[in-house]
Structure 1
Amino acid sequence: MEKEQIKLSDWQRLLFGDAPVEFTLEVVGRTLFTYVVLLLILRWLGKRMHAQLTVTEMAVMVTLGGIVSVAMQVPDRGLLPSVLVLLGCLLLQRGSNWLAFKSRRAEVVLQGDVVALVKDGVLQLPTLQHYRISREELFAQLRASEVWQLGEVARAYLEANGTFSVFTHDEPVPGLSLLPEADAALRATSDATQRQACARCGTLSQPTDHTGGHCRNCQSTHWEAAVC
């Protein structure tokens, strides 16, 4: 469209575009048809598409959105090509799932792998850095699991689908407090111990450690009183 043809008073163009008014009714029919086909495709893709998505599933969802938009709104494109592409996405997703089922290596490449973010109350800082997860993001997830301090955590995993799984000790040891520093009143209710916890990774100090010394895990010199 040439810029001379663009006029704010052209209400028909603003409401219906350059297509004939009859195409509006066609869009309704295209949308209903595409909606039904898309529902069938999602059903055939399986229940995983209704839960947390893996990388491959997210890629398929984005692709589906691009496919159906053309089928619904572009007047010079037919419906059948879009249906065939939708079926192609279905076969691609089913094929990648089959390959992941047959091969552990393919599963890791296509869908990712589970990684430990916390081990026995200690943050795995290289893993956090590699997966670009901040300490506060992890602490928020731990607090959502009703964990008050790192000593309660046996393992915290980042699952392949991006969710967090937290497993706690039956008998927790003292650890770094997870309560926000801004909430001083609530932090004051925690029972402080004689042990010190590294403020960076949560490693507990040993009785022979010097006050203010380097953490043996991350070399930080910032310590806080461990709580239980």
Structure 2
Amino acid sequence: MFELSVPWWELVLRATAVYAALLLLMRMSGKRTVGQFTPFDLLVVMLLSEGVSNALTGGEESVLGGLIVACTLLGLNALVSRLSARSDRIRKLAEGEAVVVGYDGRILDERLRAEHVTREDVMQALREADCDVADMKLALVEADGKISILRRAEGMAAHLRG
């Protein structure tokens, strides 16, 4: 139950390698997978966890082995969080940053494609912000995948009067 079939440090190395690889893959896959899970996105995440489980444990099935992997993953996550809070460069690398997908009443389709966000997602965010495309100053896909809308000043004044 508590006896390991592989050295403890191998489990730490495996967990670190898988954590780093998945972090990189998630960053490369675009912001949508992080922000708003569709049923497809959720399925992919579930399958990813199942697919990497053997890579994490190397066939180790003991309670101790599972706890070592869990502690390593939680420790890495805490480390990345702390480093991200102290360094903009690390934060941008780990979490990303907001990307402009609409500017001055125009939706930038090439940026939407690069971020794996649909035009309909932006239109929904505009509706939620009670903003017409013409009144949009900026549309941003935030690092967490949420779409933020900034109105033009004159559009806001007209909105407040109306």
Using structure 2 for the length normalisation, give the TM-score.
Answer: 0.55
8 Å CA contact retained: 1:54, 1:111: no
Higher mean alpha-carbon deviation, 86-95 vs 103-112, is at 103-112
Counterpart residue number, 2:152:
169
Counterpart residue number, 1:145:
129
Counterpart Cα distance in 2 of 1:160 and 1:134 = 16
Quick one: which amino acid aligns to residue 106 of structure 2? V
Counterpart residue number, 2:138:
155
Counterpart residue number, 2:107:
123
Counterpart secondary structure, 2:139? strand
Counterpart residue number, 1:105:
89
Counterpart residue number, 2:16:
none
Structure 1 pair 89–121 and aligned structure 2 pair: CA distance change class (3 A): same
Counterpart Cα distance in 2 of 1:112 and 1:121 = 25
Gaps of 5+ in 1: 1-52, 56-60, 71-75, 174-228
Counterpart secondary structure, 2:64? helix
Counterpart Cα distance in 1 of 2:75 and 2:101 = 35
Using structure 1 for the length normalisation, give the TM-score.
Answer: 0.40
Cα displacement string for residues 21-50 of structure 1 (whole angstroms, at most 9, x for unaligned residues): xxxxxxxxxxxxxxxxxxxxxxxxxxxxxx
Q: CA deviation at 1:154?
A: 1.8
Once the two structures are aligned, what percentage of the paired residues are identical? 21
Counterpart Cα distance in 1 of 2:116 and 2:34 = 17
8 Å CA contact retained: 2:100, 2:141: yes
Counterpart secondary structure, 2:154? coil
1:18-167 to structure 2, matched below 5 A, reads 54=34, 66=50, 77-147=61-131, 149-167=132-150
Counterpart Cα distance in 1 of 2:34 and 2:73 = 15
Q: CA deviation at 1:78?
A: 2.4
CA RMSD of aligned residues (A): 3.4
Which has the bigger relative contact order, CA under 8 A and spacing at least 6?
2
> Paired residues, what number?
110
8 Å CA contact retained: 1:155, 1:166: yes
**Larger CA Rg, structure 1 vs 2:** 1
Larger helix fraction of residues: 2
